[in-house]
Amino acid sequence: MTRSLVRLLAVSALALCLAPAAYAHDDDDSVLKPAEPDFTLINLPTAMRLPVNKSSFRVTHRFEGPLKGSGLSDLFGLDEGAQIGLEYRYGIIKGGQIGFYRVSDKTIDLFADYSVLRQGKSPVEVSAALAIEGTNNFKDSYSPSIGAVISRRIGDAAALYVEPTWINNTNTLPKEVVDHNDSVTMGIGARVRIRPTVYIVAEVIPRLSGYKPNSNQASFGIEKRAGGHMFQLNFSNGHGSTPA
């Protein structure tokens, strides 16, 4: 046996030993993946998994005043009020989580995510996302939705997302009910790590078919990770933060 062949066999054996270890590390939901440090981009969910019996809490605060045309008289739109949301999610099974999100306009969103395919075993990660939201504290205008989160992490530098979703009852005003009262959207987003704990995020959610009341919602922001906390400042052409 030549020396070159011995080296080749040694390298191959090392690669086989390291591959399962690398996947085992990636399969550990408690290990932070720097390219995907949070459960959402801005409005779109990510494929980040929550360990079993662990939980997460999120607060959203969306000023409703537009920046365009604003000035010191209304403190650049800050006097126009805000929409505040509180979210709690819990890891119920391996790769599966459920959650509750309530916005200050009394909309409640109940959601569940499950990891179907994991990056490492395949080139992309795929999660199923189910939700139902109801207005007036879940008493009126129910809007169920079903979608998929298809993502790809690029090392520790970035993560890309494509998220097709069907949402029923996207027109929640009874006086304006239309024949096709649902929407199919295609969320597209990315998170890019520009510093060890600083990220740029962006997303756009075009409506492909169904009810299309306004322009497609687009958002971008900058965020800072501090330990297990994420702080984000974002800008958007709409203040909606639930699927409908």
- Residue 9 in tokens: 């066999």
- How far apart are the C-alpha atoms of 135 and 149, rounded to whole Å? 25
Question: In the predicted model, is pLDDT for residue 15 greater than 50?
Answer: no
Residue with tokens 């932070």: 32
Torsion angle, CA of 90/91/92/98, rounded to 10 degrees?
Answer: 50
CB 147 within 8 A of CB 164: yes
Average model confidence (pLDDT) across the chain: 86
Among 33-42, 198-207, 231-240, which stretch is predicted with the lowest mean pLDDT? 231-240
Residue with tokens 């497609």: 216
User: In terms of pLDDT, which residue wins out, 171 or 131?
Assistant: 131
- How far apart are the C-alpha atoms of 137 and 99, rounded to whole Å? 15
Confidence of residue 240 (pLDDT cuts 50, 70, 90): confident
- How far apart are the C-alpha atoms of 32 and 26, rounded to whole Å? 9
**Cα angle, residue 82 at apex, residues 135 and 138 outer, rounded to 5°:** 10
- Residue 98 in tokens: 């459920």
> What pLDDT is attached to residue 71?
59
Question: In the predicted model, is pLDDT for residue 44 greater than 90?
Answer: yes
User: In terms of pLDDT, which residue wins out, 25 or 101?
Assistant: 101
pTM assigned to the model = 0.83
